[in-house]
Amino acid sequence: MPKVLVCGRGGSGKSTFVTMLAQTLGEQDKVLVVDADESNLGLGRMLGIQPPAQTLMDDIGGKKAVGSKLMASLRSGGTEEVKMFAGTFSIGELSTESVSWNGSVGLAQIGKVEHTNEGCACPMGALAREFLNKLKESDEEWVIVDTEAGVEHFGRGVLEGVDAVLMIVDPSYEAVLLAEKAAKLADEAGKAFSVILNKVDEETKSRLKEMLEAKKIEIAEVLPYSTDISEANLVGEPLTAESLKQTLKEIITKIIPSSVKAG
């Protein structure tokens, strides 16, 4: 099954969508959710999964170790290849300390900002890119990547190792502009791209559709605003996909497989 990268602006509902998609997929298949947002602290709570004992960054020696490898490559003029993993690996071969599971759904975290003045997140972007490139999933496994807000991960090459990009668009002009940018970047990278409207009513759905179609961006699916999900997010409770399960199944059966095939 494919690796799917989920992106969008801050507050669009990326992590909420990732959680519900993972829960729905997990009813039949094994799902690894990769938290590639160094600032997100709530994805484990949403999934109902205790965060792993350590991040993938910690698992290979920490941010300084990764940064040293990147600097060595820069000093060599790019002739020295950056290798953080010896070769390809499966989900089952990941360290038990770097992945937490709740049934068929697992959570791995690339890395987190832990201290002031610790430097930029470039090492985390490089790690995410190589991790996704070398992780090999079976036909019964899915990999869902939750990214930071915006499109910086495109510039870091994180989407090299994924099959499809799902863009979450909430009712805002900024989200429309970001969707236009992301569509161009995904096309440049040769990746299938789909837009999902989130937190919309009938009026905003119509207006967003008109704005996106003017930019030649098609809407793949629509998720309505949910007071239950909003309340769960407010009080810090795990999310449930029950109320949107049918729509999520349509996304899985109609969008993701065809997008991967098209890509």
CATH number, domain at 252? 3.40.50.300
Poorest-pLDDT segment among 18-22, 67-71, 241-245: 241-245
A 10 A CB-CB count for 11 gives: 13
| Higher per-residue confidence, 259 vs 184 | 184
Residue 102: what residue type?
A: N
Q: Alpha helix locations (H) across 135-240?
A: 152-155, 173-188, 202-214, 227-235
Mean pLDDT across the stretch 92-98? 94
A 10 A CB-CB count for 201 gives: 10
The whole domain housing 26 covers 3-262
Tens of pLDDT, residues 153-173: 999 899 999 999 999 999 999
CA 228-232-236 angle, 5° bins: 175
The Cα–Cα gap between 260 and 256 comes to 6
Whether 261 has a pLDDT exceeding 50, the answer reads: no
Domain count, the chain: 1
Which burial class, exposed, middle or buried, applies to 35 when counting CB atoms under 10 A from its CB (0-12, 13-18, 19+)? buried
Query: Strand locations in the chain, DSSP E?
Result: 3-8, 30-35, 89-90, 100-102, 105-109, 135-136, 141-146, 164-169, 192-200, 219-224
Q: Is the pTM for the entire model greater than 0.85?
A: yes
